[in-house]
Structure formats: structure tokens, C-alpha cells
């Protein structure tokens, strides 16, 4: 790392509606460093880099790269300014050749009088591939001929062949095998050796400590601090990430005295359930009066657990049944047997986003209201449960699309509260929700648990699992990789160890 | 701080609501405007009892068939096979009416229901856009109608055609259909379910609505309703030629759009669109005829009105992909 | 197994598959009706009509690749044909060729404008506009008549029809391979939002696709009117039937896109379809049910080529 300042971020700011995702973050990045950016989910790190790379418009503040202020309009514009990004999801497009994908949006170098020199483009692409040790990949072949890992590596090449001054690696490693990771690390070291800078986002603390020179920490959109990687260990990083004030008082404070075996009767269970691409022979039981947590990396298949229990998975094998043996094979059966589900994809799956609060709350309960429905009753019903959840709204005629994330989730919960559901399957219940509403939801869940309801929380936020759950199942690669019981001594480290 | 925020949010909301309120009144306003304009242009001729009777009696089949399409469109789907479906059902009604009028009614409805079922299977199970399926079906059925009417039109028995002048009966039938549909859509869960599917298919699925089954049933029901409308058509026209039911699907679409139906269906679908829309369409069409416009100019004007009204009533979310 | 996989990934697998399908189709009808089907002269006739529809299919390909629809091309075709008749009387062969292409480009411009400005689904907007274009066709027929003067029907027979069609195919292939349009419409078709992120001006390329589509329909009109020599105006949505055959070709192109030769697939696809029609006629199918075959074939082609994903939202 040299002393040369490469990129200066000045009071970068971003709001999504009522959510303040990044709060006036100022950061310096130096030439020849790998600079890790860490924080919990929702801490704003990806939002920050997305503004730098042109994926999101800048909400406020300035980026100054090499003395020049930049505000990329899109990813390719970012590339032209010397900023490149490798994202978590697949960024290559089917229907295009490898070469077309490599140069998508950047064809002008091959254009003459509006005609694209396709031969030259293919030739250059093949040269780049060969130089990258990928000579088995043909530039002219359609990209769908290659597998996920190969496509990810083609993306790495797409983002780095033009020697970007800043390379953002946004949680790419979770999608890669060991070989792929080594390849990526090699590229990152290369960038550093050329006197450029890598911004490295990862949840894997060991990886962060191994690869980076300096580490900056974000928490709830705030910049916390920057430290030298040599001066810290994983525990120190954890403490910095979670902070102290995200206090225990939001969570449950009771520690019931069963340490090894859940009590209460089984509410619902899945036996040897597999779903292609996400679950591999999973069995679990959820008991009455229990909050069961499921944790793991985002792609470990845990989100499918909720869908499978709710009867919503496609191509499921194995059985899902209630404690008394009643099978659950469709959403309808699930709802009729008092099962509720809140999806991680709140806007598309939990809610009818372009519909009123009233319709959203009453929809599953209509079947209990008799054959003839009166608008007045429906309205009163919706209002009652929206008010119990203290939803901030103009009226139940208001469209859900106008609500904040927290209030949307309140509408979802109000729906199932109204349905008197006894089994709650909640996927990422507090995702993108501000602290105040979070506390409300936690209190509600604790109360429901005491009423004897069975609650499943699927969450990417480890602290939430530790704080709320009686029992935590950790998943990895579609299988359950370990079980942990509620204890004041339980640490994030215990869970992470089973995730990776 | 929090309270002022809420207040500001509420104000924004109110502003939006105003616009939607105007939108929800627009179909009525445009109906009144259409009537007024043509009444003036025809120097009052339009609103003479004779013309009013003509306008209303021309719209029985359209009104009934529109009820079924309203249900389909509130789910966000489309049906372009209605016209040809009507033609074929009508042929069945006419043919069977020579044996027994009640068998004829059932036969017509069964024909429509069967076509609706085929549409729905291709759309739902084959995952092909409803518009494409029903467009193909329209040509398929047009060919069949042309084939069965090659040598001579299919004639209805006099037991049906003798009812043609019994306007009160026909009006009563239309009103009964409208009232039943209104009651079912407003006082059972069905209406909400349909709008929920239109608003968000995946959201509706996770709220416990069996989207596929609902879609199939509604296509069948809408087909049966059109099959029933074919009965009225048989009564009024008395025979089926190769052009029976031509353009009906377009008329339905224009009528619903005039009635304020969002083209993507969803929560802002109103059953009143059926009535206001069909009446607006009938007056518009009659008015254009009375002013002596040729068919092509009528079509030109209808086309322009259609595009404008679709644009006005479409719901567009930010960053939405429109195909 | 590896050899089969390699063969399937080969660029010419798709074309080979289609050729086999064509021969098979020919053979079946030939066996059933040896006297009335499939002589060399008849094959030339099938090819001739296939060429005409394939030009329109090339235009539609730009649209369907992006997941859009254009249900106005039937009316664009009718109007272009009538303008070709009119302008050939005034400007001779130049009028015959230039007028329909200009007409196509202009109507494509309106389609694109209405779609991008009004932001309503493409199939609705094009159906609405086709009502308007259909009414124009009546005015055009009143002005120009409905019969092409015999001296101008050179594009209705070999070799000029082949030459013009080949020029159109060449342009289509060139645009797909050697301009940004080809890459970008594929990118938009796969994932519009990702494409936007890569700096693709989505609205602009959709607009261009509408213009190209109707422009190719203009070229198709030159061939179509020269072959048929007469065109009556169509109203009341009747022109919709003319959408179908080009649409089928475009779907063939889409289905075989991954083998890299969509234009070839469109042409062979149209040949198969025109053989099917001729075959059914040879089997004694009355011409009145031509529409049945058209509707059923398109439905079959779409059903066979569409990719089904569990839980996908289809309206």
C-alpha cells in the first residue's frame, strides 16, 4: 500500500423511501491496497459500492477518483471511469456469445461507421480468455454452454481486463468453489500489485483477514471505523460489526431451562424433504411454544425451508406433515391448517403490492367469513388487525405500495394475526426494517411464543437468531449442518463455524 | 418529528388519491360527454325514443359477453377469441334449436365453456400468454365457422326468432345476468380473488388462492356466459353466417377500456366498467353511424379513442418492465 | 454421449435438424399424395411463398426476441401493398419498391413511439394502432385501386423475388451480427434490467426494433403484392390473420437462436409451414378452413418453442 490517495468518498448518502441506507459516509481508498468493507446485512456496504459503480444513482455526496469527480450512470460508464464491479448474482446474459457478454455495452471500440467488426471482437475476446488461462472457453460460443462457475469467471475477466483503478468484489466468493476463489484472489492481488485498489465485500471473516490490508466497518448505514487488518482478529471485527447498542433489550431476555431437547408437542415437521437446487434430504420438527431459527449463507437453501413447510415448493419430494400426521401439500392446505408464511421477497410473495391494505389483510380470512361477504365487515376486520399491529396508514383503503418496509411487514403479520394462525413461518422477518418496528416485531413474536404458537424464523442476521430463538439449525449446501440451543453463552462464531 | 413525517406522507397520499378519484369518475364523465356531443351533433336525433331503443337492443349480446371478459381481464388476462366463440356457439344454438330450445341453450353454453377450457389449458398449463392463445383460437374457430357455413347459413328455429321483438324479455335477461354477476363478484370472495390475481399472481398464490384453478374456471365461466349471449344473438339475428360475431372481441375490449378498466386488471377493476363502458361504446358507435361516417372512419375514430383510453387507465409502477 | 453433446452444441446442429424436418415433412405428404404434392415445380412454389413470409419473419424476429409483440404487421402489410400499387402507377418500379418500405418504416416509427411514450403493453398498443392502419387501407384503396399493373410484377417471379428476398435476409443477418442492435435486442430479451445496467438504452433499441420490424414488412409487401398482384383493403381486424405466418417464422428463429443462424431457421421454418399448407390442400382440405390450420399451427409452434418455468407469471 502506498500513500497515494486513489479514491475519496465524501459524505456519500442514500435513502430508499423512509429507509436511510447509507448515512453521509466518508472514506479514503489508497493506491495498492485491498480494502475490505464489512458489516451486517443491511449495513449499507453494497449500497455504497453500487453508487460508486453506477448500479444505483448517487443519493448525495461525491466520489473523487484520481482528482476527478465521478458519477457513473451505469456499470459500463463506471468501467470507462476506471471502476469495475463483480456482483454476487449472475451478471452474464443468456442468448449472447461469450465475446458479446465480455464487451456488452462497450462495443464502440469495434465499431466503424456503425458496423461492428465482429471478427476483431471475437479475436480480442479469445486473446483475453487465453491470457486468463481460459483457453478452453470459446469466445464465439453461446454463454449458456458454460456452467455457473465458468460464467462467474468470465464475469471476473469482463470486469478486470481493462485494468480498472478500482475493482469492487461484492460477495462473489460464496458462489465460487475453492479453485474459483483462488483464481479470484489471484486477480485481486494482481490489481493491488499494479498500484490499483480492490474494495472487497465478504461475510467470511477469515477470508477478509487473509486478503485485505485495511478493513472499514459500516453499521446501519453509518461509518464506524477503519483499521489495519494486521491489528485485529475475528472476534474484534465481530464486536465492531454488531456494536454494543444493538442491545439485548430488543431481544428476548429469558433463557428457558432446556439445554438439549425441545419440549412441547410437534406442531409441524418435514421428513427427508428435497427440492431440486435448494434442499437435500432435510428433516426437522417445529414444536409448539418454540421459536426455531434457521441460519446459513444466503444460498444455502434455507429460504426454501419456509416454502416447503408452507406447501409452496415446486417438485418437492419427502413429506411435510402436522404433529397429528396431516399432510401439507399445497398452500391451501397449509392456510386451512393455521399455517402462516412471510416470504423474504415481501413485495412479490407476501403482499399484493398494488392493492389495498384491506384486501391484503382479509384475503386468506375471507373463507372463514361465510359465503356472503359484506364490505363493511371486511373493512372492520382489516382495520382491527391493522390497528393491533399499529400500522401507520391513512386508512385501510391505502395501497400497500405507499408504505415503508416496516409497515408492509406489519400488514403481512396483521393478515396472519387475523387468520389466527398457530404456526408462523417467517423468512427474514425484519429484513430492511428500521429498529423501532424491529423491536415491535420481536416483542410480538415473544408474546406469541408464550401463547404456545410455533414460530420458525429464517434469517441471515445471526444476532437475531441468537437473540430470539430457542433452537437454531444451521444449514449449508441444502443440508442441516448443526443444531444449537439457546444459551447466554452462544456466540456468532459458533454459528458461523457451522455455516462455512 | 415522526408525526410530521406521517402527516407529510398522508398529504402525498391524498394528492394521489385525488387523481385516482378523478380517474374513477372519468368513465361516467366520458359517457355523459359522448351522449352530449352526439346529441348536439345529431340535433337531438340520438336521444329520441326510437334511437334509444335501437341503441339498447343492439347491445344485449355485447353487454352479456362483456361480463365474462370483465372477469378475465380483472385477473390481468385477455380473451380475443370471444367473437369467434360467439359465432360458433351461436351456430350450435341455431342447430339445436330445431330440436329443443333448452337443449339449444345448454349446447351453446357448453360450446363456449369448452372453448374457454381449451384456451385456459394452453394459457395456464402451456404458459403461453393468454392473448396469443386466444388470438390463435380466434382464427381456428373462424375457420370452423366458415367451414360449417360454406354452403348455407345455419338457421335458428322460429321458436327462438319469434322472441326477437320481445324487447322487455331480452332487457330482463340482460339485467338478470348483470345483477347475478354483480352479486357474485361483490358478496363472495371470488371478486377479490380475481383482482388479487390481477394485482400480483405470486402474492395471490401465497395468500392461498389457487391461481391456476381460478384461471381455468373463469375462462370456462366466461365461455359459458358468451355461449349464453349467443342465444340472444340467435334470437335477434336468426341465423349464423361466416361473419357472425366478427369484431365482438374488439368491441368488448374497447367497451371495457371506455368503462375505465385498466388493461392489466388488478385492484382498480370495477364492475361498473361493464355497464358504463358498453353503454358508452353503443352510443359512440350509433352516433358515428348517425353522423353518416363510413365504417373505416368509424374504425379510425374507435381506434384512436381506444389507444387514448388504454393509456389513461394503465397502471404503471416505477421501474416496471413492460413487454 | 460426449459425441452427441458436442454435436448438439455445434453451430450447424440446428440447421441440420430443420433440414431433416423439412425432408421428413416433404416425404410424408409425398407418400400420402404422390401425384398432387411435392414435384420439383411445386417445391419451387412452396419456396416462393416461404421466401415472402420469411422476410416478414425476419422483421418479427427483432420484436419477439425482446419478448415484445407486434400485432399490427398485418395491417402494415395491407397498407404497404396498397401504397405500392398506387405509387407504381406514378413512379414505376421505384415507387413499387420505395413506397411500401417507407410506409413500413413510418408505421414502425408510430408503433415504437406509441409504445415508448404511452408505456402500455406492446400487444395492446399494436392491436389498437392496427385498427387505425386498417382504416387507412380503405382510403389507400380508394386512391390507388386494388390491382397491381401487370408490367410491375417482376418481383412476383424468379429470379427477382429471390434476389430481393436474399437482400432482405442479408440485411437482417448483418444487423444481427454486425451492429449493436443484434447484441442489444438479445440482451434486452434475456434480462432487461441487467441490460439497462450495462448501459443499454432499452427504449431506444425497442424503438429501433419496431421500425426494423415494420420496415421488413414493407419489403415483404413488395414481394407479396407482386406475387398476388391484387390486394383488397381489410378492416374489422381481418388483417390480423396476416400476422400469423411471419410470426411462426420468427418463432422458429427464436427456438433455434442458440445455434447462431436465426435467419436460416426462419427461412427453413417458413418453408416447412408452406409445405404443411400445401400438403393439407393436397389431402383435400377445403380452403375455407385455412384459418384453422393457421391458428392451430401457430399455437403448436408457440407451445413447442416456449420455455416453461415452474411458477412463472404469465398473463
Q: Do C292 and B140 touch (CB under 8 A)?
A: yes
What are the beta bridge partners of residue A473? A294, A483
C-alpha–C-alpha distance, residues B61 and B86, integer Å: 9
Helix pair angle (C241-255, C290-305), 10° resolution: 30
pLDDT value for B11: 44
ipTM: 0.88
SS3 of A155, please? helix
Quick one: closest CA in C to B250, which residue? C237
For chain B, say whether A331 makes contact (Cβ under 8 Å).
Answer: yes
User: Considering only CB atoms, which chain A residues are within 8 Å of C177?
Assistant: 116, 118
Cell numbers 448525495 correspond to A60
Provide residues of B within 8 Å CB-CB of chain A: 5-6, 9-10, 12-14, 16, 186-189, 192-193, 195-196, 199-200, 202-210, 266-267, 315, 317
Q: Is C239 left (phi over 0), alpha (psi -120 to 50) or beta?
A: alpha
Structure confidence by residue, pLDDT tens digits, B191-200: 999 999 999 9
Decide: B71 and B215 in contact? Cβ < 8 Å: no
pLDDT value for B4: 37
Q: Do B131 and C123 touch (CB under 8 A)?
A: yes
C-alpha–C-alpha distance, residues A325 and A311, integer Å: 15
Averaged pLDDT, C64-89: 94
Averaged pLDDT, B149-176: 87
Binding-face residues of C in 149-188 toward A, CB within 8 A: 177-180, 183, 186-187
A33-38/A197-201 β-pairing: parallel
Q: What is the per-residue burial (b if ≥16 Cβ within 10 Å, else e) of A278-299?
A: bbbebebbbbbbbbbbbbbbbe
pLDDT value for B318: 55
C-alpha–C-alpha distance, residues B197 and B217, integer Å: 13
User: Considering only CB atoms, which chain B residues are within 8 Å of C123?
Assistant: 129, 131
Element (H, E) at A268: strand A266-275
Q: What is the dihedral of CA A325, A330, A332, A335, to 10 degrees?
A: 50
Suggest the residue from C180, C189, C254 to mutate for an interface test with chain A (most A CBs closer than 10 A).
C180
Dmax (CA) for chain A in angstroms is: 77
Nearest CB among B150, B263, B306 relative to C286 is that of B150
* pLDDT of B17 over the 60 cut: no
What are the beta bridge partners of residue A20? A15
What are the beta bridge partners of residue C257? none
Residue C315, number of CB atoms within 10 A of its CB: 17
Q: Do C258 and A144 touch (CB under 8 A)?
A: yes
Q: H helices of A204-293, where?
A: 205-211, 234-242
Decide: A42 and A220 in contact? Cβ < 8 Å: yes
User: Considering only CB atoms, which chain A residues are within 8 Å of B266?
Assistant: 354-355
User: Considering only CB atoms, which chain C residues are within 8 Å of A72?
Assistant: none
Binding-face residues of B in 241-280 toward C, CB within 8 A: 242, 246-247, 249-250, 263-264
User: Considering only CB atoms, which chain A residues are within 8 Å of C178?
Assistant: 115-118
pLDDT value for A261: 67
Structure confidence by residue, pLDDT tens digits, C25-43: 999 999 998 888 888 899 9
User: Considering only CB atoms, which chain C residues are within 8 Å of B312?
Assistant: none
For chain B, say whether A435 makes contact (Cβ under 8 Å).
Answer: no
For chain B, say whether A11 makes contact (Cβ under 8 Å).
Answer: no
pLDDT value for A455: 95
pLDDT value for B9: 43
C-alpha–C-alpha distance, residues C315 and B130, integer Å: 6
Output the nine-digit C-alpha cell for B163. 322472441
pLDDT value for B231: 93
Q: Do C241 and B77 touch (CB under 8 A)?
A: no
Structure confidence by residue, pLDDT tens digits, A111-149: 888 888 888 999 999 999 998 888 888 898 888 888 888
For chain C, say whether A93 makes contact (Cβ under 8 Å).
Answer: yes
User: Considering only CB atoms, which chain C residues are within 8 Å of A74?
Assistant: 196-199
User: Considering only CB atoms, which chain C residues are within 8 Å of B144?
Assistant: 289, 292
Q: Do C295 and B127 touch (CB under 8 A)?
A: no
C-alpha–C-alpha distance, residues C246 and C61, integer Å: 9
Kindly tell me the burial class for residue C199, based on how many C-beta atoms sit within 10 Å of its own C-beta (0-12, 13-18, 19 or more).
Answer: buried
- Between the alpha carbon of residue B211 and those of residues A199, A401, A442, the distances in Å are 45, 22, 33
Q: How confident is the model at residue B165 (pLDDT cuts 50, 70, 90)?
A: confident
SS3 of A209, please? helix
Q: How far is C-alpha C280 from the chain's CA centre?
A: 21
For chain B, say whether A401 makes contact (Cβ under 8 Å).
Answer: yes
Q: What is the per-residue burial (b if ≥16 Cβ within 10 Å, else e) of C151-184?
A: ebbebbeeeebeebbeebbebbbebbebbbbbbb
For chain A, say whether C257 makes contact (Cβ under 8 Å).
Answer: yes
Sign of torsion, CA A335 A337 A339 A343? negative
Sign of torsion, CA C139 C144 C145 C150? negative
Q: What is the per-residue burial (b if ≥16 Cβ within 10 Å, else e) of A321-356?
A: bbbeeeebeebbbbbebbbbbbbbebbbbbbbbbbb
Cell numbers 487465453 correspond to A130
pLDDT value for B7: 40
For chain C, say whether B5 makes contact (Cβ under 8 Å).
Answer: no
pLDDT value for C127: 92
Kindly tell me the burial class for residue A451, based on how many C-beta atoms sit within 10 Å of its own C-beta (0-12, 13-18, 19 or more).
Answer: exposed
User: Considering only CB atoms, which chain B residues are within 8 Å of C114?
Assistant: 307
A471-476/A454-458 β-pairing: unpaired
Q: Do C119 and B322 touch (CB under 8 A)?
A: yes
C-alpha–C-alpha distance, residues A166 and A30, integer Å: 10
C-alpha–C-alpha distance, residues A8 and A327, integer Å: 58
C-alpha–C-alpha distance, residues A279 and A481, integer Å: 12
Decide: C65 and C213 in contact? Cβ < 8 Å: no
The residue among C296, C306, C294 whose CA lies nearest residue C64 is C306
For chain A, say whether C8 makes contact (Cβ under 8 Å).
Answer: no
Q: Do A359 and B203 touch (CB under 8 A)?
A: no
Q: Which residues lie below 8 Å from residue A173, measured CB to CB, with a gap of 6+? A: A181, A184, A202, A204, A207
The dihedrals phi and psi of B168, each to the nearest 5 degrees, come to -55, -40
Q: Do B196 and A352 touch (CB under 8 A)?
A: yes
Q: Do A354 and B210 touch (CB under 8 A)?
A: no
C-alpha–C-alpha distance, residues B6 and B28, integer Å: 34
Nearest CB among B122, B129, B139 relative to C315 is that of B129
C-alpha–C-alpha distance, residues B131 and C69, integer Å: 10
A197-201/A166-170 β-pairing: parallel
SS3 of A23, please? strand
The residue among A62, A136, A140, A53 whose CA lies nearest residue A96 is A140
Decide: A343 and A305 in contact? Cβ < 8 Å: no
For chain C, say whether A348 makes contact (Cβ under 8 Å).
Answer: no
**List of chain A residues with pLDDT < 70:** 1-2, 17-18, 41, 90, 174-175, 242-249, 257-262
Nearest CB among A76, A93, A118 relative to C199 is that of A76
For chain C, say whether A404 makes contact (Cβ under 8 Å).
Answer: no
The dihedrals phi and psi of A22, each to the nearest 5 degrees, come to -130, 125
Q: How confident is the model at residue B154 (pLDDT cuts 50, 70, 90)?
A: confident
Output the nine-digit C-alpha cell for A472. 437454531
What are the beta bridge partners of residue C230? C147
Nearest CB among B189, B266, B317 relative to A367 is that of B189
Quick one: closest CA in A to C178, which residue? A116
The residue among A218, A202, A170 whose CA lies nearest residue A56 is A170
Strands of A166-170's sheet in order across: A83-86, A166-170, A197-201, A33-38, A214-219, A222-228
Binding-face residues of A in 123-162 toward C, CB within 8 A: 141-142, 144-145
Decide: A167 and A191 in contact? Cβ < 8 Å: yes
For chain A, say whether C142 makes contact (Cβ under 8 Å).
Answer: no
Cell numbers 411435510 correspond to A320
SS3 of A64, please? strand
Structure confidence by residue, pLDDT tens digits, B207-250: 999 999 999 999 999 999 999 999 999 998 888 988 888 889 99
The residue among C189, C187, C210 whose CA lies nearest residue C197 is C187
C-alpha–C-alpha distance, residues A358 and A375, integer Å: 10
pLDDT value for B1: 33
C-alpha–C-alpha distance, residues A185 and A198, integer Å: 11
Tell me whether the omega of the peptide bond preceding residue C159 falls within 30 degrees of 0, making it cis.
yes
Structure confidence by residue, pLDDT tens digits, B87-142: 999 999 999 998 988 999 999 999 999 999 999 999 999 999 999 899 999 989 99
Strands (E), B69-134: none
User: Considering only CB atoms, which chain B residues are within 8 Å of A399?
Assistant: 267
User: Considering only CB atoms, which chain B residues are within 8 Å of C132?
Assistant: 299-300, 303-304, 307
pLDDT value for B10: 43
Residue B10, min C-alpha distance to chain A (Å): 6
Q: How confident is the model at residue C11 (pLDDT cuts 50, 70, 90)?
A: confident
The residue among A418, A408, A416 whose CA lies nearest residue A334 is A416
Helix pair angle (B167-187, B49-57), 10° resolution: 60
Residue B4, min C-alpha distance to chain A (Å): 13
User: Considering only CB atoms, which chain A residues are within 8 Å of B317?
Assistant: 353-354, 401
Q: Which residues lie below 8 Å from residue A358, measured CB to CB, with a gap of 6+? A: A378, A379, A382, A383, A396, A397
Nearest CB among A310, A348, A401 relative to B202 is that of A348
A214-219/A222-228 β-pairing: antiparallel
Averaged pLDDT, B175-182: 96
Reported pTM: 0.87
User: Considering only CB atoms, which chain A residues are within 8 Å of C196?
Assistant: 74
Q: Do B203 and A348 touch (CB under 8 A)?
A: yes
Binding-face residues of C in 165-184 toward B, CB within 8 A: none
Amino acid at each position: 500500500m502506498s500513500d497515494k490517495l486513489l479514491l475519496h468518498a465524501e459524505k456519500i448518502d442514500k435513502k430508499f423511501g423512509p429507509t436511510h441506507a447509507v448515512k453521509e459516509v466518508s472514506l479514503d481508498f489508497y493506491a495498492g491496497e485491498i480494502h475490505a468493507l464489512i458489516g451486517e446485512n443491511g449495513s449499507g456496504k453494497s449500497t455504497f459500492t453500487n453508487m460508486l459503480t453506477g448500479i444505483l444513482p448517487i443519493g448525495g455526496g461525491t466520489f473523487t477518483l484520481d482528482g476527478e469527480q465521478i458519477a457513473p450512470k451505469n456499470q459500463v460508464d463506471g468501467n470507462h471511469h476506471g471502476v469495475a464491479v463483480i456482483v454476487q448474482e449472475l451478471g452474464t446474459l443468456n442468448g449472447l456469445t461469450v465475446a458479446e457478454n465480455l464487451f456488452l455495452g462497450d462495443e464502440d471500440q469495434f465499431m466503424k461507421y456503425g458496423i461492428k467488426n465482429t471478427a476483431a471482437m471475437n479475436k480480442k475476446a479469445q486473446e483475453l480468455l487465453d491470457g486468463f488461462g481460459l483457453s478452453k472457453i470459446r469466445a464465439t460460443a453461446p454463454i449458456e454452454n458454460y456452467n455457473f462457475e465458468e460464467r462467474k469467471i468470465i464475469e471476473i475477466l469482463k470486469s478486470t481486463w481493462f485494468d480498472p483503478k478500482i475493482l469492487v468484489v461484492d460477495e462473489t466468493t460464496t458462489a465460487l468453489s475453492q479453485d474459483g476463489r483462488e483464481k479470484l484472489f489471484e486477480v485481486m492481488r494482481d490489481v493491488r500489485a499494479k498500484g490499483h485498489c480492490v474494495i472487497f465485500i465478504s461475510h467470511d471473516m477469515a477470508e477478509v483477514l487473509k486478503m485485505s490490508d485495511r478493513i472499514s466497518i459500516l453499521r446501519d448505514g453509518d461509518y464506524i471505523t477503519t483499521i489495519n487488518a494486521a491489528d485485529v482478529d475475528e472476534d474484534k471485527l465481530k464486536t465492531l460489526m454488531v456494536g454494543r447498542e444493538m442491545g439485548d433489550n430488543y431481544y428476548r431476555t429469558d433463557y428457558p431451562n432446556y439445554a438439549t431437547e425441545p419440549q412441547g408437542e410437534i406442531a409441524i415437521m418435514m421428513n427427508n424433504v428435497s427440492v431440486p437446487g435448494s434442499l437435500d434430504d432435510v428433516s426437522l420438527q417445529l414444536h409448539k411454544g418454540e421459536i426455531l431459527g434457521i441460519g446459513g449463507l444466503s444460498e444455502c437453501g434455507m429460504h426454501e425451508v419456509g416454502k416447503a413447510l408452507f406447501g409452496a415448493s415446486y417438485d418437492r419430494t419427502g413429506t411435510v406433515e402436522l404433529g397429528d400426521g396431516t399432510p401439507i401439500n399445497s398452500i391451501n392446505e397449509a392456510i386451512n391448517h393455521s399455517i402462516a408464511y412471510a416470504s423474504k421477497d415481501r413485495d412479490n410473495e407476501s403482499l399484493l403490492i398494488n392493492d389495498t391494505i384491506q384486501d391484503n389483510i382479509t384475503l386468506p380470512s375471507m373463507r372463514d367469513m361465510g359465503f356472503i361477504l359484506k364490505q363493511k365487515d371486511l373493512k372492520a376486520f382489516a382495520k382491527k388487525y391493522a390497528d393491533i399491529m399499529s400500522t401507520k396508514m391513512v386508512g385501510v383503503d391505502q395501497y400497500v405500495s405507499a408504505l415503508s418496509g416496516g409497515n408492509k411487514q406489519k400488514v403481512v403479520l396483521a393478515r396472519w394475526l387475523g387468520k389466527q394462525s398457530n404456526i408462523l413461518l417467517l423468512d427474514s422477518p425484519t429484513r430492511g426494517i428500521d429498529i423501532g418496528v424491529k423491536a415491535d416485531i420481536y416483542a410480538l413474536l415473544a408474546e406469541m411464543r408464550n401463547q404456545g404458537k410455533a414460530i420458525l424464523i429464517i434469517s441471515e442476521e445471526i444476532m437475531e437468531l441468537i437473540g430470539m430463538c430457542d433452537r437454531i439449525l444451521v444449514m449449508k449446501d441444502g443440508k442441516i449442518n448443526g443444531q444449537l440451543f439457546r444459551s447466554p453463552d452462544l456466540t456468532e462464531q459458533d454459528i458461523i463455524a457451522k455455516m462455512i | 418529528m415522526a408525526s410530521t413525517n406521517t402527516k407529510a406522507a398522508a398529504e402525498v397520499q391524498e394528492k394521489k388519491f385525488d387523481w385516482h378519484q378523478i380517474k374513477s369518475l372519468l368513465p361516467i364523465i366520458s359517457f355523459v360527454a359522448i351522449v352530449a356531443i352526439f346529441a348536439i351533433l345529431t340535433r337531438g336525433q340520438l336521444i329520441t325514443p326510437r334511437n334509444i331503443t335501437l341503441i339498447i337492443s343492439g347491445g344485449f349480446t355485447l353487454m352479456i359477453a362483456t361480463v365474462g371478459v370483465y372477469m378475465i381481464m380483472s385477473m390481468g388476462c385477455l380473451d380475443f377469441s370471444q367473437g369467434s366463440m360467439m359465432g360458433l356457439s351461436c351456430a350450435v344454438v341455431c342447430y339445436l334449436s330445431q330440436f329443443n330450445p333448452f337443449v339449444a341453450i345448454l349446447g351453446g353454453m357448453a360450446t363456449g365453456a369448452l372453448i374457454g377450457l381449451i384456451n385456459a389449458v394452453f394459457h395456464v398449463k402451456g404458459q403461453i400468454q393468454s392473448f396469443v392463445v386466444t388470438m390463435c383460437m380466434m382464427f381456428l374457430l373462424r375457420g370452423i365457422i366458415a367451414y360449417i357455413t360454406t354452403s348455407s347459413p345455419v338457421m335458428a328455429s322460429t321458436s327462438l326468432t319469434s322472441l326477437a321483438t320481445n324487447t322487455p324479455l331480452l332487457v330482463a335477461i340482460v339485467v338478470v345476468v348483470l345483477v347475478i354477476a354483480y352479486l357474485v363478484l361483490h358478496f363472495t370472495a371470488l371478486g377479490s380473488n380475481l383482482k388479487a390475481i390481477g394485482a400480483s399472481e405470486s402474492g395471490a398464490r401465497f395468500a392461498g388462492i389457487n391461481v391456476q384453478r381460478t384461471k381455468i374456471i373463469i375462462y370456462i365461466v366466461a365461455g359459458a356466459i358468451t355461449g349464453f349471449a349467443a342465444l340472444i344473438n340467435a334470437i335477434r339475428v336468426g341465423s349464423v353466417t361466416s361473419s357472425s360475431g366478427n369484431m365482438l372481441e374488439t368491441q368488448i375490449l374497447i367497451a371495457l377500456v371506455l368503462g375505465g378498466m385498466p388493461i392489466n386488471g388488478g385492484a382498480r377493476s370495477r364492475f361498473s366498467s361493464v355497464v358504463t363502458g358498453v353503454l358508452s361504446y353503443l352510443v359512440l358507435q350509433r352516433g358515428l353511424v348517425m353522423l353518416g361516417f363510413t365504417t373505416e372512419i368509424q374504425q379510425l375514430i374507435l381506434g384512436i379513442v381506444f389507444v387514448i383510453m388504454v393509456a389513461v387507465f394503465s397502471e404503471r409502477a416505477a421501474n416496471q418492465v413492460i413487454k | 454421449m460426449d459425441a452427441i453433446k458436442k454435436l448438439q452444441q455445434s453451430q450447424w446442429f440446428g440447421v441440420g435438424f430443420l433440414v431433416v424436418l423439412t425432408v421428413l415433412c416433404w416425404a410424408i405428404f409425398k407418400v400420402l399424395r404422390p401425384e398432387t404434392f411435392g414435384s420439383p415445380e411445386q417445391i419451387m412454389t412452396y419456396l416462393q411463398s416461404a421466401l415472402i413470409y420469411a422476410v416478414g419473419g425476419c422483421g418479427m424476429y427483432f420484436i419477439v426476441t425482446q419478448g415484445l409483440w407486434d400485432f399490427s404487421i398485418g395491417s402494415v402489410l395491407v397498407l404497404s401493398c396498397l401504397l405500392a400499387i398506387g405509387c407504381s402507377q406514378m413512379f414505376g418500379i421505384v415507387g413499387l419498391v420505395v413506397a411500401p418500405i417507407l410506409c413500413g418504416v413510418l408505421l414502425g416509427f408510430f408503433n415504437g413511439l406509441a409504445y415508448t411514450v404511452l408505456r402500455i403493453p406492446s400487444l395492446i398498443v399494436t392491436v389498437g394502432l392496427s385498427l387505425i392502419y386498417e382504416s387507412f387501407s380503405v382510403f389507400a384503396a380508394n386512391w390507388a385501386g386494388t390491382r397491381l399493373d401487370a408490367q410491375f410484377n417482376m418481383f412476383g417471379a424468379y429470379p427477382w423475388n429471390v434476389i430481393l428476398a436474399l437482400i432482405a435476409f442479408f440485411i437482417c443477418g448483418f444487423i444481427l451480427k454486425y451492429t449493436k442492435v443484434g447484441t442489444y435486442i438479445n440482451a434486452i430479451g434475456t434480462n432487461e434490467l441487467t441490460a439497462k445496467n450495462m448501459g443499454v438504452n432499452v427504449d431506444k433499441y425497442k424503438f429501433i426494433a419496431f421500425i426494423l420490424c415494420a420496415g421488413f414488412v414493407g419489403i415483404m409487401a413488395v414481394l407479396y403484392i407482386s406475387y398476388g398482384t391484387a390486394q383488397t383493403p381489410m378492416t374489422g381486424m381481418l388483417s390480423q390473420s396476416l400476422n400469423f405466418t411471419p410470426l411462426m417464422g420468427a418463432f422458429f428463429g427464436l427456438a433455434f437462436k442458440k445455434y447462431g443462424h436465426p435467419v436460416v431457421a426462419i427461412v427453413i421454418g417458413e418453408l416447412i409451414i408452406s409445405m404443411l399448407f400445401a400438403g393439407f390442400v393436397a389431402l383435400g382440405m377445403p380452403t375455407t378452413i385455412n384459418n384453422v390450420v393457421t391458428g392451430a399451427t401457430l399455437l403448436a409452434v408457440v407451445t413447442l418453442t416456449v420455455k416453461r418455468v415452474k411458477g412463472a407469471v404469465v398473463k
